[in-house]
Structure 1
Amino acid sequence: MNSAIVRALLVRGMLAGLGAGALAFVFAYLIGEGPVDAAIAFEEANSHHAAGGEELVSRSVQSTAGLATGVLVFGVAVGGIAALAFCFALGRIGRFGARATAALTSLAAFLTVYLVPILKYPANPPAVGNPDTLDQRTALYFLMIALSVLLGIAAVLLGRRLAPRRGNWNASIAAGLAFVAAVTVAMVFLPAGDNVPKGFPATDLWEFRMASLGIQALLWAAFGLLFGYLAERVLEPRPTASATQTAGLSASAG
Protein backbone atom coordinates (compact mmCIF):
# COMPACT_ATOMS: atom_id res chain seq x y z
CA MET A 1 0.00 0.00 0.00
CA ASN A 2 1.63 3.25 -1.12
CA SER A 3 1.88 6.40 0.99
CA ALA A 4 -0.79 8.28 -1.00
CA ILE A 5 -3.41 5.65 -0.23
CA VAL A 6 -2.36 5.49 3.43
CA ARG A 7 -2.68 9.28 3.64
CA ALA A 8 -6.12 9.19 2.03
CA LEU A 9 -7.27 6.47 4.44
CA LEU A 10 -5.85 8.38 7.40
CA VAL A 11 -7.82 11.50 6.46
CA ARG A 12 -11.00 9.48 5.97
CA GLY A 13 -10.43 7.71 9.26
CA MET A 14 -10.27 11.05 11.05
CA LEU A 15 -13.42 12.21 9.25
CA ALA A 16 -15.21 9.00 10.18
CA GLY A 17 -14.03 9.46 13.76
CA LEU A 18 -15.44 12.99 13.73
CA GLY A 19 -18.82 11.73 12.52
CA ALA A 20 -18.82 8.89 15.05
CA GLY A 21 -17.83 11.35 17.77
CA ALA A 22 -20.78 13.58 16.91
CA LEU A 23 -23.18 10.65 17.37
CA ALA A 24 -21.44 9.67 20.61
CA PHE A 25 -21.77 13.24 21.89
CA VAL A 26 -25.53 13.25 21.34
CA PHE A 27 -25.81 9.95 23.21
CA ALA A 28 -23.54 11.17 26.02
CA TYR A 29 -25.50 14.39 26.42
CA LEU A 30 -28.91 12.72 26.47
CA ILE A 31 -28.04 9.58 28.46
CA GLY A 32 -24.76 10.16 30.29
CA GLU A 33 -25.19 13.59 31.88
CA GLY A 34 -27.92 12.50 34.30
CA PRO A 35 -25.70 10.05 36.26
CA VAL A 36 -22.87 12.62 36.27
CA ASP A 37 -25.16 15.25 37.81
CA ALA A 38 -26.27 12.70 40.42
CA ALA A 39 -22.63 11.95 41.28
CA ILE A 40 -21.83 15.66 41.66
CA ALA A 41 -24.87 16.12 43.90
CA PHE A 42 -23.74 13.17 46.05
CA GLU A 43 -20.24 14.63 46.39
CA GLU A 44 -21.58 18.05 47.38
CA ALA A 45 -23.98 16.55 49.92
CA ASN A 46 -21.22 14.49 51.56
CA SER A 47 -18.36 16.96 51.30
CA HIS A 48 -16.90 18.11 54.61
CA HIS A 49 -14.78 20.84 53.05
CA ALA A 50 -15.76 24.45 52.81
CA ALA A 51 -16.62 25.66 49.38
CA GLY A 52 -13.69 27.12 47.46
CA GLY A 53 -14.00 29.96 45.00
CA GLU A 54 -16.14 30.12 41.96
CA GLU A 55 -15.68 27.26 39.51
CA LEU A 56 -13.54 28.15 36.51
CA VAL A 57 -15.87 26.43 34.05
CA SER A 58 -19.59 26.26 34.79
CA ARG A 59 -21.40 22.94 34.81
CA SER A 60 -23.53 24.02 31.84
CA VAL A 61 -20.41 24.64 29.75
CA GLN A 62 -18.85 21.36 30.88
CA SER A 63 -21.93 19.39 29.84
CA THR A 64 -22.23 21.03 26.41
CA ALA A 65 -19.20 22.67 24.79
CA GLY A 66 -16.72 20.87 27.02
CA LEU A 67 -18.31 17.48 26.45
CA ALA A 68 -18.57 18.07 22.71
CA THR A 69 -14.93 19.13 22.46
CA GLY A 70 -13.68 16.13 24.40
CA VAL A 71 -15.74 13.56 22.51
CA LEU A 72 -15.04 15.02 19.07
CA VAL A 73 -11.29 15.30 19.67
CA PHE A 74 -11.27 11.75 20.99
CA GLY A 75 -13.20 10.55 17.94
CA VAL A 76 -10.80 12.22 15.50
CA ALA A 77 -7.74 10.89 17.35
CA VAL A 78 -8.87 7.28 17.61
CA GLY A 79 -10.23 7.45 14.07
CA GLY A 80 -6.77 8.26 12.75
CA ILE A 81 -5.14 5.53 14.84
CA ALA A 82 -7.76 2.98 13.79
CA ALA A 83 -7.27 3.94 10.13
CA LEU A 84 -3.55 3.15 10.44
CA ALA A 85 -4.42 -0.15 12.13
CA PHE A 86 -6.78 -0.85 9.22
CA CYS A 87 -3.95 -0.24 6.73
CA PHE A 88 -1.82 -2.78 8.57
CA ALA A 89 -4.62 -5.34 8.93
CA LEU A 90 -5.95 -5.19 5.36
CA GLY A 91 -5.02 -8.43 3.63
CA ARG A 92 -3.17 -9.79 6.68
CA ILE A 93 -6.10 -11.17 8.69
CA GLY A 94 -7.88 -12.93 5.86
CA ARG A 95 -9.40 -12.25 2.47
CA PHE A 96 -11.78 -9.56 3.67
CA GLY A 97 -12.86 -6.50 1.76
CA ALA A 98 -12.55 -2.92 2.98
CA ARG A 99 -15.87 -2.86 4.84
CA ALA A 100 -15.33 -6.18 6.59
CA THR A 101 -11.79 -5.25 7.59
CA ALA A 102 -13.01 -1.89 8.93
CA ALA A 103 -15.71 -3.64 10.95
CA LEU A 104 -13.22 -6.15 12.38
CA THR A 105 -10.74 -3.38 13.20
CA SER A 106 -13.44 -1.41 15.03
CA LEU A 107 -14.57 -4.49 16.94
CA ALA A 108 -11.00 -5.35 17.95
CA ALA A 109 -10.39 -1.77 19.09
CA PHE A 110 -13.60 -1.70 21.12
CA LEU A 111 -12.74 -5.01 22.81
CA THR A 112 -9.08 -4.38 23.57
CA VAL A 113 -9.05 -0.63 24.22
CA TYR A 114 -12.32 -0.35 26.16
CA LEU A 115 -14.31 -3.46 27.04
CA VAL A 116 -11.53 -5.66 28.46
CA PRO A 117 -9.94 -2.88 30.58
CA ILE A 118 -13.25 -1.83 32.17
CA LEU A 119 -13.94 -5.40 33.23
CA LYS A 120 -11.01 -4.96 35.62
CA TYR A 121 -11.28 -1.22 36.24
CA PRO A 122 -14.91 -0.13 35.71
CA ALA A 123 -15.71 3.46 34.86
CA ASN A 124 -16.68 5.76 37.73
CA PRO A 125 -18.37 9.18 37.54
CA PRO A 126 -15.92 12.11 37.59
CA ALA A 127 -16.83 13.17 41.13
CA VAL A 128 -16.55 9.67 42.61
CA GLY A 129 -13.39 8.21 44.11
CA ASN A 130 -10.56 9.08 46.45
CA PRO A 131 -8.43 11.84 44.88
CA ASP A 132 -5.37 10.54 46.74
CA THR A 133 -5.40 7.34 44.68
CA LEU A 134 -6.28 8.97 41.35
CA ASP A 135 -2.76 8.70 39.89
CA GLN A 136 -2.45 5.05 40.89
CA ARG A 137 -5.85 4.12 39.46
CA THR A 138 -5.11 5.99 36.23
CA ALA A 139 -1.75 4.21 35.84
CA LEU A 140 -3.36 0.81 36.45
CA TYR A 141 -6.09 1.52 33.90
CA PHE A 142 -3.62 2.48 31.17
CA LEU A 143 -1.49 -0.54 32.05
CA MET A 144 -4.54 -2.74 31.53
CA ILE A 145 -5.18 -1.10 28.15
CA ALA A 146 -1.57 -1.71 27.09
CA LEU A 147 -1.71 -5.35 28.19
CA SER A 148 -5.04 -5.89 26.44
CA VAL A 149 -3.78 -4.43 23.15
CA LEU A 150 -0.51 -6.38 23.27
CA LEU A 151 -2.30 -9.62 24.12
CA GLY A 152 -4.77 -8.98 21.31
CA ILE A 153 -1.94 -8.54 18.80
CA ALA A 154 -0.30 -11.71 20.13
CA ALA A 155 -3.58 -13.59 19.68
CA VAL A 156 -3.84 -12.44 16.05
CA LEU A 157 -0.26 -13.58 15.37
CA LEU A 158 -0.98 -16.92 17.03
CA GLY A 159 -4.10 -17.40 14.91
CA ARG A 160 -2.14 -16.67 11.73
CA ARG A 161 0.53 -19.20 12.68
CA LEU A 162 -2.00 -21.92 13.49
CA ALA A 163 -4.24 -21.32 10.46
CA PRO A 164 -2.19 -23.29 7.87
CA ARG A 165 -2.22 -26.42 10.05
CA ARG A 166 -5.52 -26.14 11.94
CA GLY A 167 -7.71 -24.17 9.53
CA ASN A 168 -9.04 -20.67 10.01
CA TRP A 169 -11.95 -21.63 12.25
CA ASN A 170 -9.96 -23.79 14.70
CA ALA A 171 -7.08 -21.31 14.70
CA SER A 172 -9.45 -18.43 15.51
CA ILE A 173 -11.00 -20.36 18.40
CA ALA A 174 -7.59 -21.32 19.79
CA ALA A 175 -6.32 -17.74 19.53
CA GLY A 176 -9.48 -16.40 21.19
CA LEU A 177 -9.21 -18.85 24.08
CA ALA A 178 -5.53 -17.99 24.53
CA PHE A 179 -6.42 -14.29 24.65
CA VAL A 180 -9.14 -14.87 27.26
CA ALA A 181 -6.80 -17.00 29.38
CA ALA A 182 -3.96 -14.45 29.24
CA VAL A 183 -6.31 -11.54 30.06
CA THR A 184 -7.77 -13.49 32.99
CA VAL A 185 -4.29 -14.09 34.42
CA ALA A 186 -3.46 -10.39 34.07
CA MET A 187 -6.69 -9.39 35.84
CA VAL A 188 -6.02 -11.78 38.70
CA PHE A 189 -2.53 -10.46 39.41
CA LEU A 190 -3.18 -6.74 38.89
CA PRO A 191 -4.37 -4.90 42.04
CA ALA A 192 -7.98 -3.85 42.44
CA GLY A 193 -8.84 -0.30 41.50
CA ASP A 194 -12.54 0.15 42.29
CA ASN A 195 -12.88 3.05 44.72
CA VAL A 196 -16.57 3.87 45.06
CA PRO A 197 -17.42 5.62 48.35
CA LYS A 198 -19.81 3.94 50.75
CA GLY A 199 -23.39 5.03 50.38
CA PHE A 200 -23.12 5.99 46.73
CA PRO A 201 -26.40 5.00 45.01
CA ALA A 202 -25.90 1.74 43.12
CA THR A 203 -28.50 2.77 40.54
CA ASP A 204 -26.60 5.94 39.63
CA LEU A 205 -23.33 3.99 39.37
CA TRP A 206 -24.95 1.35 37.15
CA GLU A 207 -26.54 3.98 34.89
CA PHE A 208 -23.23 5.80 34.50
CA ARG A 209 -21.35 2.63 33.60
CA MET A 210 -24.02 1.56 31.12
CA ALA A 211 -23.97 5.03 29.57
CA SER A 212 -20.18 4.86 29.29
CA LEU A 213 -20.44 1.46 27.63
CA GLY A 214 -23.12 2.74 25.26
CA ILE A 215 -21.03 5.77 24.23
CA GLN A 216 -18.04 3.62 23.34
CA ALA A 217 -20.13 0.95 21.59
CA LEU A 218 -21.93 3.59 19.50
CA LEU A 219 -18.71 5.40 18.65
CA TRP A 220 -16.88 2.28 17.44
CA ALA A 221 -19.90 0.87 15.61
CA ALA A 222 -20.49 4.16 13.81
CA PHE A 223 -16.79 4.47 12.99
CA GLY A 224 -16.67 0.96 11.54
CA LEU A 225 -19.64 1.65 9.27
CA LEU A 226 -18.56 5.13 8.18
CA PHE A 227 -14.91 4.30 7.65
CA GLY A 228 -15.72 1.04 5.87
CA TYR A 229 -17.79 3.00 3.34
CA LEU A 230 -15.13 5.68 2.87
CA ALA A 231 -12.27 3.18 2.66
CA GLU A 232 -14.10 1.14 0.06
CA ARG A 233 -14.44 4.22 -2.15
CA VAL A 234 -10.67 4.76 -1.93
CA LEU A 235 -9.60 1.15 -2.44
CA GLU A 236 -12.36 0.02 -4.81
CA PRO A 237 -13.42 3.14 -6.77
CA ARG A 238 -16.51 2.74 -8.90
CA PRO A 239 -16.20 3.48 -12.61
CA THR A 240 -17.44 6.88 -13.67
CA ALA A 241 -20.42 7.31 -15.98
CA SER A 242 -18.18 8.33 -18.88
CA ALA A 243 -15.95 5.29 -18.40
CA THR A 244 -19.02 3.03 -18.35
CA GLN A 245 -20.36 4.59 -21.55
CA THR A 246 -16.97 4.23 -23.24
CA ALA A 247 -16.79 0.59 -22.25
CA GLY A 248 -20.30 0.05 -23.60
CA LEU A 249 -19.49 1.69 -26.92
CA SER A 250 -16.33 -0.38 -27.24
CA ALA A 251 -18.27 -3.57 -26.60
CA SER A 252 -20.90 -2.57 -29.20
CA ALA A 253 -18.27 -1.75 -31.79
CA GLY A 254 -16.58 -5.08 -31.19
Structure 2
Amino acid sequence: MAAALDSPRQGTAPRFAPLLGRFALAGVAAGAASGAWALLVTERAIAPALALEESRAGGHEHGEELVGRGTQLVGGFLGTVVAAVVFSVVVAAVYAGVRHRLPGRTDVGRVAVLTAVGFGVFALLPALKMPANPPAVGDPDTVGTRTAIYVAVLGAGVVTALLVSALVGTLRARGLHPSAVATAAVLLAVALVAATVLLVPDNPDTIAADVPAAVVWDFRLASLGQLAVMWTTLGLTAGYLVDRLARRS
Protein backbone atom coordinates (compact mmCIF):
# COMPACT_ATOMS: atom_id res chain seq x y z
CA MET A 1 0.00 0.00 0.00
CA ALA A 2 2.79 2.40 0.88
CA ALA A 3 4.48 1.87 -2.48
CA ALA A 4 1.29 2.82 -4.28
CA LEU A 5 1.25 6.15 -2.47
CA ASP A 6 4.75 7.24 -3.53
CA SER A 7 5.04 10.06 -6.05
CA PRO A 8 7.59 12.81 -6.73
CA ARG A 9 5.13 15.51 -5.73
CA GLN A 10 3.90 13.92 -2.53
CA GLY A 11 7.19 12.47 -1.35
CA THR A 12 7.76 9.05 0.15
CA ALA A 13 4.67 7.72 1.87
CA PRO A 14 5.16 6.19 5.32
CA ARG A 15 4.41 2.50 5.76
CA PHE A 16 0.94 1.62 6.92
CA ALA A 17 1.80 0.11 10.32
CA PRO A 18 3.76 3.16 11.59
CA LEU A 19 1.12 5.41 10.05
CA LEU A 20 -1.58 3.55 11.96
CA GLY A 21 0.37 3.93 15.20
CA ARG A 22 0.74 7.69 14.73
CA PHE A 23 -2.97 8.10 14.08
CA ALA A 24 -3.86 5.94 17.08
CA LEU A 25 -1.63 8.10 19.30
CA ALA A 26 -3.31 11.19 17.88
CA GLY A 27 -6.65 9.54 18.63
CA VAL A 28 -5.69 9.30 22.31
CA ALA A 29 -4.94 13.04 22.33
CA ALA A 30 -8.17 13.81 20.48
CA GLY A 31 -10.24 11.67 22.83
CA ALA A 32 -8.65 13.26 25.90
CA ALA A 33 -9.28 16.77 24.56
CA SER A 34 -12.87 15.90 23.62
CA GLY A 35 -13.48 14.24 26.99
CA ALA A 36 -12.10 17.29 28.81
CA TRP A 37 -14.45 19.52 26.81
CA ALA A 38 -17.35 17.25 27.77
CA LEU A 39 -16.49 17.53 31.47
CA LEU A 40 -15.88 21.28 31.46
CA VAL A 41 -18.39 22.57 28.91
CA THR A 42 -20.95 19.98 27.80
CA GLU A 43 -21.67 18.90 31.37
CA ARG A 44 -22.58 22.46 32.30
CA ALA A 45 -24.87 22.68 29.28
CA ILE A 46 -26.60 19.39 30.08
CA ALA A 47 -27.14 20.10 33.79
CA PRO A 48 -30.21 22.39 33.28
CA ALA A 49 -31.83 19.75 31.07
CA LEU A 50 -31.30 17.07 33.71
CA ALA A 51 -32.78 19.38 36.32
CA LEU A 52 -35.79 19.97 34.09
CA GLU A 53 -36.35 16.24 33.72
CA GLU A 54 -36.16 15.82 37.48
CA SER A 55 -38.68 18.61 38.01
CA ARG A 56 -41.05 16.95 35.54
CA ALA A 57 -40.87 13.81 37.67
CA GLY A 58 -41.91 15.89 40.67
CA GLY A 59 -38.62 15.30 42.44
CA HIS A 60 -39.68 11.79 43.47
CA GLU A 61 -36.96 9.24 44.06
CA HIS A 62 -37.27 6.07 42.02
CA GLY A 63 -34.78 4.07 44.03
CA GLU A 64 -31.10 4.41 44.51
CA GLU A 65 -29.06 5.00 41.37
CA LEU A 66 -27.05 1.99 40.28
CA VAL A 67 -24.34 4.25 38.85
CA GLY A 68 -23.60 7.67 40.33
CA ARG A 69 -23.18 10.78 38.20
CA GLY A 70 -19.47 10.93 38.98
CA THR A 71 -18.97 7.37 37.78
CA GLN A 72 -20.95 8.16 34.65
CA LEU A 73 -18.68 11.12 33.90
CA VAL A 74 -15.51 9.07 34.34
CA GLY A 75 -16.92 6.29 32.20
CA GLY A 76 -17.97 8.80 29.57
CA PHE A 77 -14.47 10.27 29.49
CA LEU A 78 -12.84 6.87 29.04
CA GLY A 79 -15.43 5.88 26.45
CA THR A 80 -14.71 9.07 24.51
CA VAL A 81 -10.99 8.26 24.43
CA VAL A 82 -11.60 4.68 23.27
CA ALA A 83 -14.06 5.82 20.59
CA ALA A 84 -11.61 8.47 19.34
CA VAL A 85 -8.83 5.89 19.03
CA VAL A 86 -11.06 3.49 17.08
CA PHE A 87 -12.21 6.32 14.84
CA SER A 88 -8.64 7.50 14.27
CA VAL A 89 -7.73 4.03 13.01
CA VAL A 90 -10.50 4.32 10.42
CA VAL A 91 -9.24 7.77 9.42
CA ALA A 92 -5.71 6.35 9.11
CA ALA A 93 -6.94 3.68 6.68
CA VAL A 94 -8.73 6.32 4.62
CA TYR A 95 -5.66 8.56 4.65
CA ALA A 96 -3.44 5.73 3.45
CA GLY A 97 -5.74 5.25 0.48
CA VAL A 98 -6.22 8.88 -0.55
CA ARG A 99 -2.96 10.54 0.58
CA HIS A 100 -1.70 10.93 -2.99
CA ARG A 101 -4.92 12.74 -3.97
CA LEU A 102 -5.08 15.23 -1.13
CA PRO A 103 -3.83 18.80 -1.67
CA GLY A 104 -0.89 20.06 0.35
CA ARG A 105 2.89 19.94 0.22
CA THR A 106 3.28 18.25 3.61
CA ASP A 107 1.40 15.62 5.57
CA VAL A 108 0.35 18.32 8.03
CA GLY A 109 -1.68 20.02 5.31
CA ARG A 110 -3.01 16.80 3.82
CA VAL A 111 -4.17 15.42 7.16
CA ALA A 112 -5.74 18.81 7.93
CA VAL A 113 -7.72 18.65 4.69
CA LEU A 114 -8.94 15.12 5.39
CA THR A 115 -10.00 15.88 8.98
CA ALA A 116 -11.72 19.09 7.85
CA VAL A 117 -13.76 17.03 5.40
CA GLY A 118 -14.47 14.51 8.16
CA PHE A 119 -15.69 17.25 10.47
CA GLY A 120 -17.96 18.60 7.76
CA VAL A 121 -19.43 15.19 6.93
CA PHE A 122 -19.76 13.67 10.40
CA ALA A 123 -20.34 16.76 12.57
CA LEU A 124 -21.29 19.96 10.76
CA LEU A 125 -23.78 18.57 8.24
CA PRO A 126 -25.72 16.55 10.86
CA ALA A 127 -25.70 19.62 13.11
CA LEU A 128 -27.25 21.69 10.33
CA LYS A 129 -29.94 19.16 9.48
CA MET A 130 -30.55 17.41 12.79
CA PRO A 131 -28.90 19.27 15.68
CA ALA A 132 -28.39 17.47 18.97
CA ASN A 133 -31.02 17.94 21.67
CA PRO A 134 -30.59 17.72 25.44
CA PRO A 135 -32.25 14.94 27.48
CA ALA A 136 -35.30 17.11 28.22
CA VAL A 137 -36.18 17.10 24.53
CA GLY A 138 -37.04 14.02 22.53
CA ASP A 139 -39.76 11.39 22.33
CA PRO A 140 -38.45 7.85 22.97
CA ASP A 141 -40.96 6.54 20.41
CA THR A 142 -39.15 8.42 17.62
CA VAL A 143 -35.71 6.91 18.22
CA GLY A 144 -35.96 4.68 15.16
CA THR A 145 -37.03 7.54 12.90
CA ARG A 146 -34.31 9.86 14.22
CA THR A 147 -31.68 7.18 13.73
CA ALA A 148 -32.78 6.62 10.13
CA ILE A 149 -32.65 10.35 9.42
CA TYR A 150 -29.20 10.62 10.97
CA VAL A 151 -27.87 7.71 8.90
CA ALA A 152 -29.38 9.26 5.76
CA VAL A 153 -27.62 12.56 6.49
CA LEU A 154 -24.30 10.80 7.03
CA GLY A 155 -24.75 8.87 3.80
CA ALA A 156 -25.51 12.06 1.92
CA GLY A 157 -22.40 13.66 3.41
CA VAL A 158 -20.18 10.77 2.29
CA VAL A 159 -21.67 10.90 -1.22
CA THR A 160 -21.08 14.65 -1.30
CA ALA A 161 -17.42 14.21 -0.36
CA LEU A 162 -16.94 11.50 -3.01
CA LEU A 163 -18.61 13.53 -5.76
CA VAL A 164 -16.64 16.67 -4.95
CA SER A 165 -13.42 14.64 -4.91
CA ALA A 166 -14.26 13.09 -8.28
CA LEU A 167 -15.00 16.52 -9.74
CA VAL A 168 -11.71 17.94 -8.47
CA GLY A 169 -9.78 15.01 -9.91
CA THR A 170 -11.48 15.37 -13.31
CA LEU A 171 -10.91 19.13 -13.54
CA ARG A 172 -7.27 18.77 -12.48
CA ALA A 173 -6.72 16.14 -15.14
CA ARG A 174 -8.01 18.61 -17.74
CA GLY A 175 -5.49 21.20 -16.60
CA LEU A 176 -7.89 23.80 -15.20
CA HIS A 177 -6.53 26.58 -13.02
CA PRO A 178 -6.57 25.75 -9.27
CA SER A 179 -8.88 28.69 -8.53
CA ALA A 180 -11.40 27.41 -11.07
CA VAL A 181 -11.18 23.91 -9.58
CA ALA A 182 -11.74 25.27 -6.07
CA THR A 183 -14.71 27.38 -7.20
CA ALA A 184 -16.36 24.42 -8.92
CA ALA A 185 -15.78 22.21 -5.88
CA VAL A 186 -17.31 24.76 -3.51
CA LEU A 187 -20.36 25.29 -5.74
CA LEU A 188 -21.00 21.55 -6.03
CA ALA A 189 -20.57 21.05 -2.28
CA VAL A 190 -22.98 23.89 -1.48
CA ALA A 191 -25.55 22.53 -3.94
CA LEU A 192 -25.37 18.99 -2.54
CA VAL A 193 -25.53 20.18 1.08
CA ALA A 194 -28.55 22.36 0.25
CA ALA A 195 -30.24 19.36 -1.41
CA THR A 196 -29.58 17.26 1.70
CA VAL A 197 -31.04 19.89 4.01
CA LEU A 198 -34.12 20.32 1.83
CA LEU A 199 -34.84 16.70 0.85
CA VAL A 200 -34.04 14.72 4.00
CA PRO A 201 -36.99 14.75 6.46
CA ASP A 202 -36.76 16.96 9.53
CA ASN A 203 -36.38 15.78 13.11
CA PRO A 204 -39.82 14.54 14.23
CA ASP A 205 -39.27 15.79 17.79
CA THR A 206 -40.55 19.21 18.78
CA ILE A 207 -39.19 21.42 21.54
CA ALA A 208 -41.54 21.31 24.54
CA ALA A 209 -42.95 24.61 25.73
CA ASP A 210 -41.30 24.28 29.15
CA VAL A 211 -37.80 23.90 27.68
CA PRO A 212 -36.02 27.28 27.44
CA ALA A 213 -34.39 28.00 24.10
CA ALA A 214 -31.12 28.81 25.87
CA VAL A 215 -30.96 25.28 27.32
CA VAL A 216 -31.38 23.74 23.88
CA TRP A 217 -28.90 25.95 22.06
CA ASP A 218 -26.28 25.84 24.79
CA PHE A 219 -26.33 22.06 24.55
CA ARG A 220 -26.22 22.06 20.76
CA LEU A 221 -23.27 24.45 20.62
CA ALA A 222 -21.46 22.52 23.34
CA SER A 223 -21.97 19.23 21.47
CA LEU A 224 -20.76 20.71 18.19
CA GLY A 225 -17.81 22.28 19.97
CA GLN A 226 -16.87 18.92 21.45
CA LEU A 227 -16.74 17.38 17.97
CA ALA A 228 -14.77 20.35 16.66
CA VAL A 229 -12.21 19.89 19.43
CA MET A 230 -11.88 16.19 18.64
CA TRP A 231 -11.43 16.67 14.88
CA THR A 232 -9.08 19.62 15.29
CA THR A 233 -6.87 17.81 17.80
CA LEU A 234 -6.83 14.69 15.64
CA GLY A 235 -5.90 16.66 12.53
CA LEU A 236 -3.13 18.72 14.12
CA THR A 237 -1.61 15.90 16.15
CA ALA A 238 -1.79 13.25 13.44
CA GLY A 239 -0.52 15.69 10.84
CA TYR A 240 2.51 16.55 12.95
CA LEU A 241 3.31 12.94 13.81
CA VAL A 242 2.83 11.62 10.28
CA ASP A 243 4.86 14.46 8.79
CA ARG A 244 7.78 13.64 11.09
CA LEU A 245 7.44 9.98 10.14
CA ALA A 246 7.42 10.80 6.41
CA ARG A 247 10.51 12.99 6.76
CA ARG A 248 12.39 10.19 8.48
CA SER A 249 11.28 7.81 5.73
Task: Give the TM-score taking structure 2 as reference length.
Answer: 0.88
Aligned counterparts of 1:160 and 1:20: Cα–Cα separation in 2: 30
1:197 aligns with 2:208: yes
Aligned counterparts of 1:84 and 1:187: Cα–Cα separation in 2: 29
Aligned counterparts of 1:114 and 1:147: Cα–Cα separation in 2: 13
For 1:103, the aligned partner's letter is: A
Aligned counterparts of 1:153 and 1:49: Cα–Cα separation in 2: 50
Deviation at 1:128, TM superposition (A): 2.4
1:67-119 alpha-carbon deviations (Å, 9 max, x no partner)? 21221122112211111222122121335321111111111100111101110
1:10 aligns with 2:20: yes
1:142 aligns with 2:147: no
The equivalent residue for 2:10 is: none
- Name stretches of at least 5 consecutive residues in structure 2 with no aligned partner: 4-13
Within the candidate set 199, 213, 216, 2:224 is matched to 213
Percent of aligned pairs with the same residue? 33
The equivalent residue for 1:24 is: 34
For 2:220, the aligned partner's letter is: R
Tell me the secondary structure at the aligned position of residue 165 of structure 2.
Answer: helix
1:111 aligns with 2:120: yes
The equivalent residue for 2:164 is: 155
Structure possessing the higher radius of gyration over alpha carbons: 1
Aligned counterparts of 1:66 and 1:125: Cα–Cα separation in 2: 19
- Name stretches of at least 5 consecutive residues in structure 1 with no aligned partner: 239-254
Aligned counterparts of 2:245 and 2:124: Cα–Cα separation in 1: 30
Tell me the secondary structure at the aligned position of residue 236 of structure 1.
Answer: helix
For 1:40, the aligned partner's letter is: L
1:74 aligns with 2:83: yes
The equivalent residue for 1:243 is: none
For 1:160, the aligned partner's letter is: G
The equivalent residue for 2:9 is: none
Task: Give the TM-score taking structure 1 as reference length.
Answer: 0.86
1:166 aligns with 2:176: yes
The equivalent residue for 2:189 is: 179
The equivalent residue for 1:87 is: 96
The CA RMSD over aligned residues, in Å, is: 2.1
The equivalent residue for 1:242 is: none
Deviation at 1:54, TM superposition (A): 3.2
Q: Is this contact kept in 2: 1:89–1:101, CA < 8 A?
A: no
Q: Is this contact kept in 2: 1:151–1:182, CA < 8 A?
A: yes
Aligned counterparts of 1:95 and 1:191: Cα–Cα separation in 2: 37
Q: List aligned pairs for 1:122-141, cutoff 5 A.
A: 122-141=131-150
Aligned counterparts of 1:70 and 1:121: Cα–Cα separation in 2: 23
Total equivalences in the alignment: 237
